[in-house]
Amino acid sequence: MNGTYLIVDATFLVPCIVMQGLTWRRAPAGHGAALVLAAFGLIVLTAVFDSLMIAAGLFTYAPGLISGIRIGLAPIEDLAYPIAAALLGSAAWNLRRSSPEERLQRAERGPDARTPEDRPR
């Protein structure tokens, strides 16, 4: 069990986890449950469609480069990609949001102090 793909996965998963951690305080209530649900959905889709593509012979994995753990025909290493997508997408969304402190300051200033991005469309 060489696990070379695990090393590759870690090189892009770690920054995604860090980004999620840095933007977490901007996340709305219920964000954690939504993130888990999105990641789970992406993992299921990846396992199903990777298994179908592997079964169709579209690609294979060298046994010495993977851990050997599989979900269906897909190696566990393939699941890092949807997890990274969920984490990075969520972090990008969180960065787009204003911080709780900024929202509180705007609320204290009143409705006339809203910026164009805060106004209803």
DSSP symbol at 62: -
Closest-CA residue to 71 (of 104, 108, 46)? 46
pLDDT tens digits, 21-33? 998 887 888 889 9
Cα dihedral sign for 53, 55, 59, 62?
Answer: positive
Tokens standing for residue 68: 């050997």
Tokens 């299921």, located at residue: 44
Query: Residue 111 carries which DSSP code?
Result: G
Question: Are 106 and 38 in contact, with CB atoms under 8 Å apart?
Answer: no
Nearest alpha carbon to residue 17 among 98, 70, 80, 79: 80
Confidence (pTM): 0.74
Q: What is the pLDDT of residues 19-70, one digit of tens each?
A: 999 988 878 888 899 999 999 999 999 999 999 999 999 988 888 888 889 9
90 closest CA partner among 23, 29, 9: 23
